[in-house]
């Protein structure tokens, strides 16, 4: 009986223990594993930093979110089953990137990395608070100042890296690149020694943003000038009228051979001109010159430069003005068409002369007559030359103090005669001819003669080699007109 009870007790213990094992074993197999899911692994936040949410699906576990690499501008927080991502405002135009790791607490091997991109702000560059800048510098420095005394500072603010373009050699600009708040310093490095203002467009560019500073340097010189007009080249001189601006007061000039002109700098030319005589400009002038500034007589088929400076009514100089002038090959029979004059004769009321074609002369223009003896030879030559070139009367021709006849396109050698009972008033007899090639082109210049019957009836002068004094001469036309009018009285 006792043995039976003992066996029953032992069997009960075995059965109970076995059930416990079964029950325990069944409990471990039935516990669900943790899971973790995110609905996106990449998000974008605007430049203002507005928050966005990502849904997190987690089962059988809690989860954590952490910004990695210490990115201070990015914030991550839990809100129920969502992850809220936000950022501080991005003031830069360039976008920036960060990352957040979401990890299951029950199993840290369950994790996701979410890439966060924050957009950049709209690119901007401002100049003194606006989108452009402007400044004017004087053309001339006064009171012993130099360019640095005129410097100006532009306040630049930007959210992009910018670089500057449009630099010019007459401006100093610093710095030429920057970002954020920058002081941009600009000043002229030299005076503007011209009669035109100059301009620079300084462009600040970065990330598609472009802003411009316009810098003007005013003209340091007046716009005044005096230049030769209607110029002609005679054999040993040039003749011209002056063309000048209305506000002119005085002018000075030099006359240089091509060799000497090319040796001189602009400053040397200015200094040389300022040593010349100051001429008051108050009338229309004619001028002649037989020698260059070195005392060398001008020659045929050569280049010369007329260089001048003028001042305005306020005494301010204009810019240096230069005119290139070339003498023709007058007496070269292999190149030119011209006429020769011979057999001069005259009485108290008539003179005669012969004209013969020379070189390649096919036909010619001829003009002849008388004028008063005080008229400058070269000036008159200028007038006739202008008349023949333009086939219209010039200013001397409008004033009846000489007489002439003219023949155009005369084809043959011929003896011409002129009769005038006014030869006592107009004692200078003259004749000028201009050769014409077969193709219709005019010769390089005219040749002629002048006979002053009041001084010496046998005196003959060819325009190609005038016997006038080889000095600079400036002649007021009003004075010439007055002399002529006095003879008519």
Task: Give per-residue pLDDT as tens, 361-372.
Answer: 999 988 888 877
pLDDT mean over 330-347 = 76
| pLDDT exceeds 60 at position 134 | yes
Percent of the chain with pLDDT over 90: 48
Nearest to 71 by CA among 104, 113, 33, 35: 113
pLDDT mean over 144-156 = 95
Is 286 or 126 the better-scoring residue by pLDDT? 126
| pLDDT exceeds 50 at position 16 | no
- pLDDT-derived band at 190 (thresholds 50, 70, 90) equals very high
pLDDT mean over 405-431 = 86
Q: Residue 26's pLDDT is what?
A: 44
| pTM of the complete model | 0.58
Q: Residue 400's pLDDT is what?
A: 52
pLDDT mean over 89-100 = 92
Instruction: Give me 138's structure tokens.
Output: 């004087």
Q: Is residue 437 a contact partner of residue 358, using CB atoms and an 8 Å limit?
A: no
Instruction: Give me 207's structure tokens.
Output: 């990330």
| pLDDT exceeds 50 at position 22 | no
- Residue 408, SS3? strand
Mean pLDDT is lowest, of 259-268, 299-308, 351-360, 469-478, for 469-478
Pairing state between β 132-137 and 209-217: parallel
Q: Rounded to 5 degrees, what are φ and ψ at 303?
A: -105, 135
- pLDDT-derived band at 149 (thresholds 50, 70, 90) equals very high
pLDDT mean over 202-221 = 93
pLDDT mean over 439-466 = 66
Beta bridge partners of 351: 346, 418
Mean pLDDT is lowest, of 63-72, 77-86, 453-462, for 453-462
Q: Residue 24's pLDDT is what?
A: 41
Pairing state between β 473-476 and 285-289: antiparallel
Pairing state between β 447-452 and 461-462: antiparallel
Q: Residue 382's pLDDT is what?
A: 73
Using CA atoms, how far apart are residues 218 and 244, in angstroms rounded to an integer? 22
Using CA atoms, how far apart are residues 137 and 377, in angstroms rounded to an integer? 51
| pLDDT exceeds 90 at position 112 | yes
pLDDT mean over 204-212 = 91
E-state strands within 347-484: 350-359, 363-371, 402-410, 414-419, 428-436, 447-452, 461-462, 473-476
Is 198 or 395 the better-scoring residue by pLDDT? 198
| pLDDT exceeds 50 at position 237 | yes
Q: Residue 283's pLDDT is what?
A: 66
| pLDDT exceeds 80 at position 452 | no
pLDDT mean over 113-128 = 94
- pLDDT-derived band at 62 (thresholds 50, 70, 90) equals very high
pLDDT mean over 106-115 = 94
Q: Residue 236's pLDDT is what?
A: 64
Mean pLDDT is lowest, of 91-105, 117-131, 293-307, for 293-307
Is 270 or 481 the better-scoring residue by pLDDT? 270
Percent of the chain with pLDDT over 70: 79
């Amino acid at each position: 009986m006792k043995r039976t009870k003992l066996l029953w007790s032992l069997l009960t213990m075995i059965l109970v223990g076995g059930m416990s094992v079964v029950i325990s074993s069944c409990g471990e197999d039935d516990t669900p594993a943790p899971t973790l899911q995110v609905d996106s692994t990449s998000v974008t936040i605007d430049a203002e930093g507005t928050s966005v949410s990502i849904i997190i699906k987690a089962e059988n576990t809690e989860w954590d979110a952490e910004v990695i690499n210490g990115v201070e501008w990015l914030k991550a927080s839990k809100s129920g089953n969502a992850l809220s991502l936000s950022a501080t405002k991005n003031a830069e135009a360039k976008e920036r990137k960060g990352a957040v790791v979401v990890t299951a607490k029950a199993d840290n091997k369950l994790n996701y990395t979410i890439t966060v991109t924050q957009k950049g702000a709209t690119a901007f560059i401002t100049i003194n608070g606006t989108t452009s800048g402007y400044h004017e510098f004087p053309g001339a420095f006064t009171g012993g100042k130099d360019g640095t005394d005129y410097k100006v500072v532009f306040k630049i603010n930007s959210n992009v890296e910018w670089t500057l373009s449009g630099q010019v050699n007459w401006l100093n600009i610093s710095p030429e690149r920057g970002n954020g708040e920058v002081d941009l310093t600009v000043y002229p490095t030299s005076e503007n020694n011209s009669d035109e203002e100059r301009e620079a467009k300084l462009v600040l560019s970065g990330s598609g943003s472009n802003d411009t500073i316009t810098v003007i340097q005013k003209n340091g010189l007046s716009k005044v000038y005096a230049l030769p007009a209607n110029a002609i080249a005679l054999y040993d001189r040039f003749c011209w009228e002056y063309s000048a601006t209305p506000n002119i007061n005085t002018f000075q000039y030099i006359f240089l051979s091509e060799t000497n002109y090319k040796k001189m700098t602009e400053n040397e030319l200015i200094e040389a001109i300022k040593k010349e005589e100051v001429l008051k400009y108050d009338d229309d002038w004619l001028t002649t010159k037989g020698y260059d500034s070195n005392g060398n007589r001008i020659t045929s088929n050569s280049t010369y430069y007329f260089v001048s400076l003028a001042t305005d009514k306020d005494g301010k100089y204009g810019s240096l003005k230069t005119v290139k002038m070339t003498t023709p090959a007058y007496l070269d029979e292999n190149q030119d068409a011209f006429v020769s004059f011979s057999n001069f004769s005259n009485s108290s009321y008539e003179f005669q002369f012969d004209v013969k074609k020379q070189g390649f002369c096919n036909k010619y223009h001829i003009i002849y007559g008388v004028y008063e003896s005080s008229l400058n030879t070269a000036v008159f030559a200028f007038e006739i030359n202008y008349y023949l070139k333009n086939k219209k009367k010039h200013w001397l021709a409008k004033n009846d103090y000489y007489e002439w006849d003219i023949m155009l396109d005369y084809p043959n050698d011929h003896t011409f005669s002129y009769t005038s009972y006014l030869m006592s008033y107009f004692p200078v007899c003259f004749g000028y001819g201009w050769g014409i090639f077969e193709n219709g082109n005019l010769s390089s210049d005219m040749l002629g003669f002048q006979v002053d019957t009041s001084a010496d009836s046998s005196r003959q002068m060819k325009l190609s080699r005038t016997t006038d004094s080889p000095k600079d001469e400036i002649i007021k036309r009003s004075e010439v007109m007055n002399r002529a009018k006095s003879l008519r009285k």
